Every structure is written in structure tokens, then in C-alpha cells.
Amino acid sequence: MIIPVILAGGTGSRLWPLSRAMYPKQFLPLVGNTTMLHATMARLQGLPCGPAIVVCNEDHRFIAAEQLRQLSPMPAILLEPAARNTAPAVALAALRARQAGDDPILLILASDHMIENKSAFDNAVKQALPLAEQGQLVTFGIVPTAPETGYGYIKRGELLPDESSYTIARFVEKPDLTTAKGYVASGDYYWNSGMFMFRASRYLEELGLRRPDILAACKKAMASIVTDLDFIRVDKEAFTNCPEDSIDYAIMEKTTDAVVVPMEAGWSDVGSWSALWDIGEKDDKGNVTKGDVLLYDSDNNLVYAGSRLVATVGIENTVVIETKDAVLVAAKDKVRDVRHIVSQLKSAGRGEPDIHREVYRPWGKYDAIDAGARYQVKHITVKPGEKLSVQIHHHRAEHWIVVSGTAKVINGEKEVLLTENQSTYIPVGVVHALENPGKIPLEMIEVQSGSYLGEDDIIRFSDRYGRA
């Protein structure tokens, strides 16, 4: 039995402004109409897999749960209190997989990669399975289609007895263009995909040999797990003290039992806007578009319209990405430098690297549609049966107007039921709560007013989602 381990803890900053720290690319429908996470899970169909383990950042837990809840069976969601790279994340999953006393084969996949040819993917996994069962640590090497400088490479060694897999001669860091051309021409190098397969016990054995400090920290973190709603929580202090390292550096580059299985499946890590153009469906002018887009005399562009009409005239080889609160315009061959814009925004203390104007919560979402010196207006959507925390604010008052649906409101000592076009006013310092008791989403407008309107002006007295 194969246990898939889906690593979903990344932040995807190179795809800003669409991908942000609090809503990264694995939860977005970048390719087609399904999210990257859903596409990864769907890729497992037809393989001899048991229930998956999804490892994600604690900040993303409600987004992950909302998307995974649509699957059957729902995967286990293992929460990382802090980002510590792939070696510790997989160690947590391996320890979890062994808690039942079994020793399954783990298939390690990133949640934000694209694979066009599922049949080729399936064949590579099946080819790797007997190698993993024999105790070898398998990585999947992507047969390169171009001299890519954004990927690491794997140089293959000797051909194995199955006559289709190889030992690993060495791992190579991201090369310059001339070196990458030589790698591709030689036929001896593969792109490093970051996908792996091995038995849980073998990984833990190698980790104990190569990085005993990481294994010790992860064992300590898993010694006192807590199940909370849909989540498995590890000991926060123990895991936060765990050293950071990748599987490649910690294990694969040091072990004598690493092998590579070639994969030619239309793989992409969707790591930049130019990569999204590469794999996108193009019109007769080479343009890839999504949303409400009009083009005139424009060639070989990627244009994404998230919330309004975007029109281009006379541009070529350009990326235009529009969201509700930011617009990116970049030369297609310079999109890897988007990280510098994100760094500037972070240095200025701005929120755009982290959150969208539309923010998702476990109970629904809100869209901050307008703001001024002493006011803010939000469009709030509460899912059927969900409830916001019982809370107070010290610096702002709130006026709630129901647009559609039904709102059950605690306002101080009163409990009222509001329907369409009805409203209530909540003064500063008054205990209040909002619930949707109906069968359809509750849509309402919230008008905040006061001297301070930050999201941290909140004291929760009770919360069904376990938030502080």
C-alpha cells in the first residue's frame, strides 16, 4: 500500500500578486478550473494508494480543510507550526504513518506541480514501487525539454537491473544557460522534480543517520499530538526548535541508496508567470488569457483579469496580472524578479505580500471594499450553519446590513434575527456574535467606524474553530 504525502506548506511568492503568503498557489486554480491541491489529489486515482497525509502550514489549515473536505476519504491534515523545509515535514508524515504499526511506502508529492500526462506519471510510480520496497530511496527525474536554468539537475549513474532506472551520480545546483545546454545535450541529466518514494522506516533510518537532530526534534513534536477538528497538531515548541533542511541536502545527496526513475509526463513546477505561459492554451497570436480580457495588436503575452476588464494594445512578451488590490506588469523574461517587488512591499510594512483584499475565514470570507481614515466597509459572506466568534472591539463600532439570507445576531444582552434589508448597530466595547442559521449563504455589508480599524482589535470569548 502506498501512502501519499502531499506537501502543501509553500508560499508561492514568485506568483504574486495572485499567490500570497496567506493564500498561496497550491490553493488556486492556476491551470484549468480546479485548484493545484485538488489536481494533485486527483492524480492519485487509479494508483494503489491508501488515505493521503497532507502536511500544511497552520496558517492555511482552514483553506486546506475546506478544499479537502470535498474528497472521500478526506486526507489527514498534519499541521506545521512553522516552516522547516521538506526533510522535517516528511519526517512528521513518516512518523504519523508508522503510529499504526505499519511500515507503508510513502509517495512524496508537492501540492503545486502540474503533470499533463497522468499515464506516464502512473507508470513512473509503478516502476518506482519495487525499488522502494527493496529499501531504496527513489527520486523522480524529469526528462528535460529545454536548458532550464531555474531547476536543479540530477546526473544519472549506472543502469539498474530493471533497465529503466539509474543510480545517482550527483545532484547539481541550478546551472547557468551554457551549462544547462550541455546537460540537456548529454542526455545524462534530469530536472530535479522534488518527488520521492521510499518506505517510511527507511527514510527515518537515513534521517537518523544523516540528521539525527532533525529526527529527534520531529519525534519529540509527534510525541504529544492533539487532534483538533480536521487537524493533527504537533508540539509547537519542539517543532519550532527543529533545524531546517530539504530532503535533497539532508538525505538524497548523502545516502548510498538513492536511485532515479525518469519521468516524461509534461511536468512543471509552475514556479513563475513565464512557466504558466509555457503550459497555457494559446491563441493564434501566442497569448494566454484568463478572465475578462481584450487584446489588440498584442503577441505572446500572459494576461490575467481577476476582477475587471483588462485591455492591452501593442504589447508583446509581457505578463499582466490584475487582482482586486494590485496589478503586476512585467517583461516575460524578467518575471523571476517579482520577488524583489514582494521584498520591497514587506520592507514597507504593507499587507499585499500576505493577504488579498478578499480574505477567507473558516466561517466564510470578507472583501474589504472601501476604507478611509476612520471607516472601513466590508462585504461579508457567512456559509450556512457557520458562526463568527463571540467577541468585542475596543476601538471600533460596527453597523451590519443584511443583503441576503438570515443573520442570527448577539448584540450585548439581545439576540435578534435579521433578514434582507434589516440592520443592527454594535457600539464600541459591546459583546457580539454573528451566525448564519439558514440554508443559503448570508451576505451582508459591515461598516466599521473608529480610531483604529486593524484586525488585531479583537478579543474572542469563544470560538468554535479554536482560534486564540
Q: In this structure, is residue 438 part of a structural domain?
A: yes
Q: In this structure, is residue 467 part of a structural domain?
A: no
pLDDT at 283 (0 to 100): 97
Q: In this structure, is residue 205 part of a structural domain?
A: yes
pLDDT at 467 (0 to 100): 75
By C-alpha distance, which of 314, 321, 324 is closest to 335? 321
Q: How far apart are CA 282 and CA 106, in angstroms?
A: 37
Q: In this structure, is residue 353 part of a structural domain?
A: no
Q: Are residues 279 and 264 in the same domain?
A: no
Q: How far apart are CA 182 and CA 188, in angstroms?
A: 10
Q: How far apart are CA 206 and CA 250, in angstroms?
A: 9
Q: In this structure, is residue 295 part of a structural domain?
A: yes
Q: Which domain holds residue 431?
A: 358-462
pLDDT per residue rounded down to tens, the chain (468 residues): 899 999 998 888 899 999 999 999 999 999 888 999 999 999 999 999 999 999 999 999 999 998 998 887 889 999 999 999 999 999 999 999 998 789 999 999 999 999 999 999 999 999 999 999 999 999 999 999 999 998 999 999 999 999 999 999 999 999 999 999 999 999 999 999 999 999 999 999 999 999 999 999 999 999 989 998 789 999 999 999 999 999 999 999 999 999 999 999 999 999 999 999 999 999 999 999 999 999 999 999 999 999 999 999 999 999 999 999 999 999 999 999 999 999 999 999 999 999 999 988 999 999 999 999 999 999 999 999 999 999 999 999 999 999 999 999 999 999 999 999 999 999 999 999 999 999 999 999 999 999 999 989 999 999 888 777
Q: Are residues 372 and 338 in the same domain?
A: no
Q: Are residues 296 and 375 in the same domain?
A: no
Tell me which of 227, 252, 268 is where a domain ends: 268
Q: How far apart are CA 328 and CA 128, in angstroms?
A: 41
Which run of H or of E encompasses 218?
A: helix 212-222
pLDDT at 72 (0 to 100): 79
Q: In this structure, is residue 348 part of a structural domain?
A: no
Q: Are residues 140 and 205 in the same domain?
A: yes
Task: Give the count of domains, the chain.
Answer: 3
Tell me which of 244, 268, 292 is where a domain ends: 268
Beta-carbon neighbour count of residue 180 at 10 Å?
22
Q: Are residues 171 and 213 in the same domain?
A: yes
Q: Are residues 83 and 161 in the same domain?
A: yes
Q: How far apart are CA 431 and CA 460, in angstroms?
A: 9
Q: Are residues 225 and 282 in the same domain?
A: no
Torsion of CA 177, 181, 187, 189, to 10 degrees: -10
Q: Are residues 320 and 421 in the same domain?
A: no
Query: Do strands 327-331 and 358-361 pair parallel, antiparallel, or not at all (unpaired)?
Result: unpaired
Q: Are residues 308 and 335 in the same domain?
A: yes
Q: Are residues 105 and 237 in the same domain?
A: yes
Q: Are residues 227 and 179 in the same domain?
A: yes
Q: In this structure, is residue 349 part of a structural domain?
A: no
The values of phi and psi at residue 430, to 5°, are -95, 135
CATH number at residue 181: 3.90.550.10
Q: In this structure, is residue 351 part of a structural domain?
A: no
This prediction has a pTM of: 0.91
pLDDT at 464 (0 to 100): 86
**Contact predicate 320/306, CB 8 Å:** no
Q: Are residues 333 and 366 in the same domain?
A: no
Tell me which of 232, 250, 268 is where a domain ends: 268
CATH number at residue 453: 2.60.120.10
